[in-house]
Each structure stands twice: as structure tokens, then as C-alpha cells.
Amino acid sequence: MNGIRDARSYDLDALRERVLPETSGSVTESIPQLADADPAQCGIAIVTVDGEVRRSREADAVFSIQSAVKPFVFALALQDTDRAALERVGIEPTGEAFDAIKLESGTGRPPNPMVNAGALLTSSIVEGRNSDERAERIAAGLSAFAGRRLHVDEDIASAEQRLGDRNRALAHLMRSEGTLRVDADDAIGVYGRACATIVDAEALAVMGATLASGGVNPCTGEHVVSREVARDVISVMATCGVYDGSGRWMREVGVPAKSSVSGAIVLSVPGALGAAVFSPPLDEQGTSVRGHRASAILSDDLSLHSFGVPR
Ligand code: GLN
């Protein structure tokens, strides 16, 4: 199996040292808490589908998960609706930024669950009678993916709510199309809390590994989502996970992944492993520069590329 045997002895500190000298990119200024991030930070973790965990230095540095939450919220929405969520959100890549004010033409649905419009929608259809219950369902589901109880940073959650004007615009646009069926503020609040969930690279790698092992957390053995759901989610990560950088990512890294504005990237290699890199400076598409570089090297070293023929 690609990757898994070599992953168990892979030297993540050496990989970290290789990417640390890369100093291009800039830290987001979307909210003050993210703007304050230390641009020198870099943490990497790998978790195999048989539960082996490897970490670099700073793999325990904490950050808000931001858009790396989107695959997992999509997974919970699919699980809770018996996959009927697939009728509520598109699955085509947009070629546009994560917060583009654009819906699928003809249907008014969000284009896919990996952009903000899609995540606002998926977080509104997880199980729960009101926004508090939906937020709690997401918190519990994310914790099951990570194998430990995750917490929300309340300051970040309220900054998301206060400063999320584009998300507010998207929610109202979907309301006007009839595709968002909850109150716009409720949708923004639940999605904002999901983005404000605190993780470290190790927790995020376990989450990626849970998808990679068909929905079973390889560290706790918990069945979090079905195999079909995990496959659906990884497929959409592959095509849409890095926004308008998804094509370049697929060529250079070749692994289904999701980027985020905090500088996190989560990777899922079905049947092999999950991985996560956290380093705040971002490129033009909002992808962590060191994260992209580290993922490309890892993919090469462990023969993880989906379309590469092993040597
Ligand atoms: N919370 C951020 C937002 O909704 C997440 C965006 C991202 O990580 N790309 O704008």
C-alpha cells in the first residue's frame, strides 16, 4: 500500500527543517486573532489508518481550524441526512476564491461544500432543532473525528460573527434563492463556531485519517461516518479542497486535501493515512506556503500522489 509502511518511520522534524527557510506568503488579516499568528510556526503530523501517530516539533501548537473544518461538517451533514445533503449543495469546483459571492447558476445552491457558501449551508443541515443544537452536534462530531473533546475559542467565534460580512452576504443570497432554510444569522453563527474550533496538527491529522480509513477513527475505533460518506467527502476534497488552487495542488501534491486561512492543511489518503501541516503564511489562494511545500515533499517521499506510478 502506498505510503503506509514508510510513514511509520518518516522523519517529520527533518521535513519541517526543510520547509522552515521558506519565508514567502503572508498571514491573513481577516480577524485580529489570526493576524496575530507567529509566521515562524510550523507543525506537522501523520496518522496512519492503523493508528500510528508521528509528529514534528510544534505539532502541538494550537490554532483555529477555520476552513479545514469544511470536509468534516460536510461529512456530518451527509451522515445526518442519509446523504440527502447531496441534493442541497453542488460538487463542482468554482475556480474562484473561498468567499466568492456566487451560487450555482440555475439552482441557487452553493457551488460546493468546500467554499464558504457551501459550508454555511452544510452547517445548517446537520442534526439539531435549533442553532445551539446544531453547533453542539458539530462540536461533538468534530471531537469524534479527532478522538478528543475539542473546544471553541469564543473570542474567535464572535470575531467571525462580527466581521463576517461576506458570509452574511452569502447567507442572505441563499435565503433569497430559498436554498438556505434557516435564519441567516443562525447559519453564520453555527459556521463561525465551527471555524473557531481549536485543534493542533496532531488532532487535525487524526481527523484526516478518520476519513482515510472509511469513517472509523483509527485511534479510538469509533465509527464516526459511513464508508460511503467518507468516500464522498474525500472525492470533493480532491476536486474543490484548495479553491482556485485545486488544479495546481492536484498536480504538485496529488492528495485530497483542504486548506484554511489559519494556515492549516489537512490531507486524506484513502486506505493509507491522514496528515496535517500548520504554518500561518499563505499564498494568493489562501494556502499555507510551507504547508503546500511540506505536502509536496511528503507526497513524493511516500509515493502518495494519486496519479503517480510508484518507482
Ligand atoms: N472563517 C473563515 C471565513 O469564513 C474561513 C475561511 C478560510 O479558512 N478560507 O471567512
Protein residue closest via CA to atom 4 of ligand 1: 116
By the 8 A CB rule, do 218 and 210 touch?
Answer: yes
Taking the centre of ligand 1 as the mean of its atom positions, its distance from the CA of residue 119, in whole angstroms, is: 10
Domain boundary among 195, 226, 254: 195
Q: Is residue 92 part of a domain?
A: yes
Domain boundary among 160, 195, 230: 195
61 and 204 share one domain? yes
Give the total number of structural domains in the chain: 2
Domain boundary among 195, 224, 247: 195
By the 8 A CB rule, do 183 and 123 touch?
Answer: no
Dihedrals phi, psi of 61, to nearest 5 degrees: -70, 130
Question: What CATH number should be reported for the domain holding residue 10?
Answer: 3.40.710.10
61 and 97 share one domain? no
50 and 75 share one domain? no
77 and 152 share one domain? yes
284 and 182 share one domain? no
- CB of 246 within 6 A of ligand 1: the answer is no
93 and 173 share one domain? yes
78 and 173 share one domain? yes
Residues whose CB falls within 8 Å of the CB of residue 259, separated by 6 or more in sequence, listed in order = 67, 68, 241, 242, 243, 245, 249, 265, 285, 286, 287, 288, 291
Under DSSP, is residue 47 helix (H, G, I), strand (E, B) or coil? Answer: strand
- Rounded to whole angstroms, how far apart are CA atoms 67 and 284? 16
CB atoms within 10 A of CB 132: 13
pLDDT of amino acid 1: 46
What is the span of the domain harbouring residue 118? 69-195
100 and 167 share one domain? yes
Protein residue closest via CA to atom 2 of ligand 1: 66
- Rounded to whole angstroms, how far apart are CA atoms 90 and 52? 35
103 and 184 share one domain? yes
57 and 73 share one domain? no
- CB of 98 within 6 A of ligand 1: the answer is yes
By the 8 A CB rule, do 181 and 142 touch?
Answer: no
- CB of 282 within 6 A of ligand 1: the answer is no
- CB of 286 within 6 A of ligand 1: the answer is yes
pLDDT of amino acid 2: 55
pLDDT of amino acid 4: 78
pLDDT of amino acid 6: 87
- Rounded to whole angstroms, how far apart are CA atoms 301 and 7? 9
Q: Is the pTM of this model over 0.75?
A: yes
Per-residue pLDDT of the chain (311 residues; tens, 9 = 90+): 456 778 889 999 999 999 999 999 999 999 999 999 999 999 999 999 999 999 999 999 999 999 999 999 999 999 999 999 999 999 999 999 999 999 999 999 999 999 999 999 999 999 999 999 999 999 999 999 999 999 999 999 999 999 999 999 999 999 999 999 999 999 999 999 999 999 999 999 999 999 999 999 999 999 999 999 999 999 999 999 999 999 999 999 999 999 999 999 999 999 999 999 999 999 999 999 999 999 999 999 999 999 998 77
